């Protein structure tokens, strides 16, 4: 959360030292450990039940690995290209 407060994504900053100093200042500001979400923060929580990873290879013999959630376990399967 400190990173969200310290860094407005894709904004130009002078150098890394400035970013690190901003984080240090925020650590002092939120010294009690309660760091609220910034008002400009947004996000999504994804809970996938199936994921597939694809890695292209020569001759169309691509690697495809599928992860499928079954109960509390993930089943891993290799798929034909």
Q: What are the residue boundaries of the structural domains of the chain, listed by start? A: 1-43, 50-79
Cα(44)–Cα(80) distance, integer angstroms: 32
pTM of the model: 0.54
Average pLDDT (18-47) is 94
Residue 60: pLDDT band with limits 50, 70, 90: very high
3-class secondary-structure state, position 63: strand
Per-residue pLDDT reduced to its tens digit, 49-58 = 999 999 999 9
Residue 67 has pLDDT above 90, yes or no: yes
Between the alpha carbon of residue 3 and those of residues 26, 32, 60, 65, 81, the distances in Å are 9, 17, 42, 33, 40
Catalytic residues: 60
Does residue 48 surpass a pLDDT of 90? yes
Mean of the pLDDT values across residues 44-68?
97
């Amino acid at each position: 959360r400190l990173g969200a407060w310290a860094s407005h994504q894709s904004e130009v900053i002078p150098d890394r030292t400035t970013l690190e100093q901003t984080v240090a200042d925020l650590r002092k500001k939120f010294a009690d450990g309660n760091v609220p979400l910034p008002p400009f923060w947004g996000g999504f929580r994804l809970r996938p039940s199936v994921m597939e990873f694809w890695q292209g290879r020569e001759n169309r013999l691509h690697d495809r690995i599928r992860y499928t959630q079954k109960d509390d376990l993930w089943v891993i399967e290799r798929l034909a290209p």
